[in-house]
Structure 1
Amino acid sequence: MSASHVELPNAFYAPTLLPAIEELLSRGVGAQALEACFRRSLLELRTPLVRVPLFLSRRFWALAEEASGDPAIGLQAARHFASSLTNGLTYLFDVAPTLESACAHFAEYFPYFNGSLCVELHRRDGRVMLSLRERGALRSGRQSREYTVVGICSLLRRKLLASGITQDPLLSIDLPGAAPVNDERYVQALRAPLRWGAPDLVLHLDAALFGRVLAPHNAMLEGTLVGLLDQARAQTQRTLLDDAADYIARELPGGASFQSFCEGRHLTERTAARRLLSHGWRYSELLDEQRRYLAVDLLEDARLGLAQITDQLGYGDLQSFSRAFSRWYGTSPGAWRDALPG
């Protein structure tokens, strides 16, 4: 399979953002702004099994940071992640007999809920490393990573406390990116020693606590929850919006033309356009949104020249890419890259 046809995860489970949405609503951000971001009602977003394209996560967190004026909104929005997010994965994490089995379940099902990150477990030097690696068609983004890691830390600590164990399973945390001038809010939110500049987000866990048997095991309930999650993965229905977002993510270097998309699905362009619009989107908007966030991801890779990035985004020339980038971010791609830390 060629590099341009590698299938990358390109959707996430929308209700995972509900604690963050509630945080924004409590800060006075209007429901209309949030619904405009997703082009769905908040009622729809609260519906189980709703999965949406990855670019909507990036849109949401950009709105969250701008509307709240809080550069650490991801950290703050995750404060109630463990207590207010209720789905089969968090329940399964709670009923597993050990942290080891809980994290194994997490690694299995987390990509279905998250989309842009996968979980890997490794053992070394008396500790267990729970790594979150980028694997989606788009990167998760800083706010989303921070929201996710605070949520996972809460789940880990809550599980031990429920068994009467006061020891902290977290030894330290590796974080990507340069350290902020003042990382006090990170220390307060994560409550663990931090190491900045890591290639991946990694939680270092106490191996002794990792395998320790916790609360009495309910094997029947655990099996039921596994069955429900398997069923949810198998029965999640795709829409034409999903197909279009996946097609664009896969075929972007070649242009991802609407005509080719329609031909591949034996649809007239008029019919496909009408069906996409019923989901709130025009094909040209989907193409623009994918390019917008992927451009930033590619610019962060210093190994790629602007000409290579232009090709990967499916533009015919650098001038076209530069005009689009200026429309999105008010500056040129080169100036954006020059302003990156480090």
Structure 2
Amino acid sequence: MTKNDQPVLANAFYTPTILPAIEELLARGIALERIEGELRRSTFELRTPFSRAPLFLSRRFWALALETSGDPMLGLLAGRRFTSTLTNGLTYLFDAAGTLESACGYFCEHFPFFNGHLRAEVLHAGGSIQLRLVEPGTLRSGVQSADYTLIGICGLIRRKFIASGVEHDPIFAVSLPQAQPADCRPYTEVLHVPVHWGQPCLAVHLDPALFSLPLTAGNQVLEETLVTLLEQSRAHSQRSLLDEVADYICSHLAQGPALSDFCSTQHLIERTAARRLKALGWSFSEMLDEYRRYYAEDLLAEQQLGLAEISDRLGYGDVQSFARACQRWFGCAPGNYRERLLLVGSCRSSVECARLGDAPYR
């Protein structure tokens, strides 16, 4: 299978990327058993090279992280560990590239394989250069996860310049899609650059004067070797049953996906598929419910969408069924949950929203 034939895992995330964030939680006294219980897999499994998991598990993890730490800046702080501890073929290739321009080219090509739910692109517009991260999947990654990824990428870029002996900062601003929080000083203190809020997507604004600046002598043989290894890894990476089910649920959500229909498309015996899913810690109905819950969070944050339209997108036959699900998920009606989002001022997570009411998060 060539790189162009690789399936797009827009509804999955690369599990080793959250290991530094798990270390941050452990350092704060959060029990490993609770983290593994929320993810329904061990940290040993998370360390498996090229391991992926449905994106809703990332949302579950960051919701737990916020709930247990009580720190809305956890994503930014854990991102520092991400930069210093996580290494893979892409980070090696990024470091080996002769210029930031070529490094970003490699990044855009291979980042989806190491991420899953984000795509990278370089945008040249009006004399400025942006490294943009776009979410092509059904679910959003969430604010904590976006913060975590952002600080990791900024650290990767700056590390390249520091290693090359260039004292100038190649980053002069960042853009974030969420609304500006009441206190945005932690962002500027951690990122060391101005932050533009409420933007279309997450982006790192790069200095055009430094973008093509030669940073190292370059080693074409080394770069080609690393690219070859990455392509081989991509070609041998296998989709799991969870990947298949997650993508099927997301693409058929409005139609009310069923395990029987999924098995028909995959030529699987339904009982066998259910048993295999159970061995992975999930049932089809549980996965469907998880995706509906987190997608409901995203849709309710869009104030222009009516409850009937949201109900249809989630695959419910009527608003009443959607309302009952919201009562189970959030402890309140969908309209009340939407009001909580407005009070928070930015769509951070259901944990923060729940703190404004009497109902528990779970």
TM-score range (shorter-chain normalised) is over 0.9
2:130 is aligned with what amino acid? M
Cα shift at 1:334:
1.2
Cα shift at 1:8:
6.7
Distance 1:156 1:187 in 2: 17
1:259 is aligned with what amino acid? S
Greater Cα offset, 113-122 or 32-41: 113-122
Cα shift at 1:93:
0.8
- Percent identity over paired residues: 57
Counterparts of 1:297-336 in structure 2, within 5 Å, are 297-336=298-337
**RMSD (CA atoms):** 1.5
Residue 266 of structure 1: aligned partner: 267
Contact preservation (8 Å) 2:9, 2:243:
no
5+ residue gaps, structure 2, are: 1-7, 346-362
Distance 2:208 2:95 in 1: 19
Cα shift at 1:9:
1.1
Greater Cα offset, 321-330 or 123-132: 123-132
Greater Cα offset, 271-280 or 218-227: 218-227
Q: Deviations over 1:226-276 (max 9, x none)?
A: 112212222111222211111111111111011111222232322111111
1:232 corresponds to 2:208: no
Q: Deviations over 1:67-113 (max 9, x none)?
A: 11111110110012221001111111111111001111111111222
Q: Deviations over 1:27-71 (max 9, x none)?
A: 111111111122111111111110111111111100111111111
Q: 1:8 to 1:46 in 2, by over 3 A?
A: closer
Counterparts of 1:149-228 in structure 2, within 5 Å, are 149-228=150-229
- 3-state SS in 1 of match to 2:252: helix
- 3-state SS in 2 of match to 1:172: strand
Distance 1:172 1:241 in 2: 37
Distance 2:303 2:182 in 1: 23
Distance 2:295 2:301 in 1: 10
1:241 corresponds to 2:208: no
Contact preservation (8 Å) 1:116, 1:140:
yes
- 3-state SS in 1 of match to 2:165: coil
Runs of 4+ off more than 3 Å: none
TM-score for the superposition, normalised by structure 1: 0.95
1:222 is aligned with what amino acid? E
Cα shift at 1:279:
0.8
Residue 282 of structure 2: aligned partner: 281
1:236 is aligned with what amino acid? S
- 3-state SS in 2 of match to 1:76: helix
Cα shift at 1:192:
0.3
1:250 is aligned with what amino acid? S
2:168 is aligned with what amino acid? Q
Cα shift at 1:167:
0.3
1:48 corresponds to 2:49: yes
Residue 295 of structure 1: aligned partner: 296
Residue 141 of structure 1: aligned partner: 142
1:48 is aligned with what amino acid? P
Contact preservation (8 Å) 1:8, 1:137:
no
Contact preservation (8 Å) 1:325, 1:331:
yes
Distance 1:251 1:178 in 2: 30
Q: Deviations over 1:120-154 (max 9, x none)?
A: 21123332111112212211110011001101110
Contact preservation (8 Å) 1:126, 1:206:
no
Contact preservation (8 Å) 2:11, 2:116:
yes
Greater Cα offset, 49-58 or 219-228: 219-228
Contact preservation (8 Å) 1:115, 1:136:
no
Contact preservation (8 Å) 1:244, 1:261:
yes
Distance 2:242 2:135 in 1: 23
Counterparts of 1:14-25 in structure 2, within 5 Å, are 14-25=15-26
TM-score for the superposition, normalised by structure 2: 0.90
- 3-state SS in 2 of match to 1:198: coil
Q: Deviations over 1:146-194 (max 9, x none)?
A: 0011011101110001010010001111222221111121111111011
Residue 127 of structure 1: aligned partner: 128
